[in-house]
């Protein structure tokens, strides 16, 4: 995808990686719209970045996704890139927590069904553009899971697989499919994650990711160096070693 001159929608754009990407892409000369459930973080991000637009979206609600898709295309007819970033990550202690199944179901709805539904709703519009892209945010945990967040890891593995299949189906169309797989990044996605010394600083992750995106014009995977150990673990015969590092016994 071209790095400037786009109209880009970023879900989960009020905080964390979503906000970081939104700000960096706006700085590259794009019109950016951020979306999310909570209005306050969206308003704060938009106020801090003049020219950035925002709209509320309940990614768990199929009807609200359809409503949002209709309205966002009307308000921003130039929309040609969507960044499916919104997601949740919750610990599931299956032997201790009676709510583990509820957490799993909510995670699947947000992390997997949400981006599939939104992409489906906006795809006819994207196909009408000369150049367009769907960016799917997966995770290094798609390749080596974190055992206490099994459904989060599984949804990101599913997003990886879905991205490959969608890319194949959309070959020959104007729509590129790009997968962005973050490592552990210093955000508030989980309690204490921002202060985890093993987490990649958010600004470093955003800077490296946008540089890779700028130089990788044919789509595919965007992989910062810090995620490569997870991405290549199985192929290099190091899966168990990396798994044990992420999941100490």
> Mind telling me the catalytic residues?
152
Q: 90: closest CA among 100, 98, 81?
A: 100
Distance CA 94, CA 100 (A): 6
Per the listing, tokens 């719209």 go with: 33
Distance CA 244, CA 248 (A): 5
Distance CA 134, CA 187 (A): 23
The sign of the CA dihedral 34, 38, 41, 43 is: positive
Cα within 13 Å of Cα(148), Cβ side: 11
């Amino acid at each position: 995808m071209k790095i400037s001159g786009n109209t880009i929608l970023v879900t989960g754009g009020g905080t964390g990686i979503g906000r970081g990407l939104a700000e960096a892409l706006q700085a590259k000369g794009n019109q950016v719209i951020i979306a999310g459930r909570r209005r306050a973080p969206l308003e704060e991000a938009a106020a801090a970045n003049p020219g950035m637009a925002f709209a509320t979206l309940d990614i768990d609600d199929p009807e609200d996704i359809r409503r949002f898709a209709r309205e966002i295309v009307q308000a921003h007819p130039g929309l040609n890139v969507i960044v499916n970033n919104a997601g949740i990550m919750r610990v599931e202690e299956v032997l201790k927590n009676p709510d583990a199944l509820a957490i799993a179901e909510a995670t699947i709805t947000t992390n997997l069904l949400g981006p599939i539904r939104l992409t489906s709703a906006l795809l006819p519009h994207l196909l009408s553009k000369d150049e367009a892209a769907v960016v799917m945010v997966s995770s290094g945990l798609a390749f080596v899971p974190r055992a206490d967040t099994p459904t989060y890891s599984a949804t990101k593995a599913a997003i990886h697989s879905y991205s490959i299949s969608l890319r194949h189906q959309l070959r020959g169309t104007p729509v590129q499919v790009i997968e962005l797989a973050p490592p552990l990044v210093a955000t508030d996605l989980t309690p204490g994650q921002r202060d985890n010394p093993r987490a990649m600083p958010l600004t470093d992750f955003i800077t490296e990711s946008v540089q890779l995106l700028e130089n990788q014009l044919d789509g595919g995977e965007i992989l910062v160096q810090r995620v490569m150990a997870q991405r290549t673990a199985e192929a290099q015969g190091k899966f168990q070693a990396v798994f044990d590092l992420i999941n100490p016994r």
